[in-house]
Homo-oligomer: A and B are copies of this chain.
Amino acid sequence: MKRTNFRGMKCSIAQTLDLIGEWWTPLILRDIFYGVRRFEGLLTHLGISRNILTDRLQTLVENEILERRPYQSNPERFEYMLTERGIDLYPILISLMAWGDRWLPGEEGPAVELIHKECGNPATPEIVCAHCRKALTARGVRANILSEELSNQLSAVRAASGPKKK
């Protein structure tokens, strides 16, 4: 059947994934961050098939993550640029990269190194609390469930052990 979409879910993670969680999409974005902006460029560098690339670019444009703009006429040719929303996806890609660099080290080490322009050093990304600027880890955070609905669902499902009580 049709793949379930996550649009209706009241969860920012789900809704974000609905826009950029399809197969290939994050890699397309990665390449655009690298400066590959044209159809043929993405095609050859990614090794994706043409119809899928067409489809993914279209959804990204529809969702205003990319902007499709002509760079010449006669014949008309287009390139895909990141919008402000798109540029703001960078932390997601960086986090994916950081995890891979840490937990999936190949023989040759990482293929890409990020240099932080401001300080000149190789940048190891770290997530911090914007307020106190200290590390933000799974263990150091308490999730405060604001939606009553979600809260009820979770407590029902978290406690699900043993027979149902009356």
Contact = CB atoms under 8 A, between A and B. Distances in A.
A162 to B, nearest CB: 9
Copies per complex of this chain: 2
Interface residues of A, number: 99
Given A118-B134, A132-B118, A30 B13 contact: yes
Interface string A134-152: 1011111111111100100
Contacts of A36: 154, 157-158
Given A47-B4, A132-B119, A13 B100 contact: yes
A134 to B, nearest CB: 6
Contacts of A6: 27
Q: Which secondary structure characterizes the binding site on chain A?
A: mixed
A56 B139 CA distance: 24
Contact of A96 (B13, B40, B141): B13
Nearest to A93: B13
A80 to B, nearest CB: 13
A125 B135 CA distance: 9
A88 B82 CA distance: 28
A57 to B, nearest CB: 16
- Across the A-B interface, give the 9 residue pairs with the lowest CB-CB distance, nearest first: A12-B100, A119-B132, A90-B138, A124-B130, A111-B147, A16-B100, A41-B157, A113-B144, A121-B131
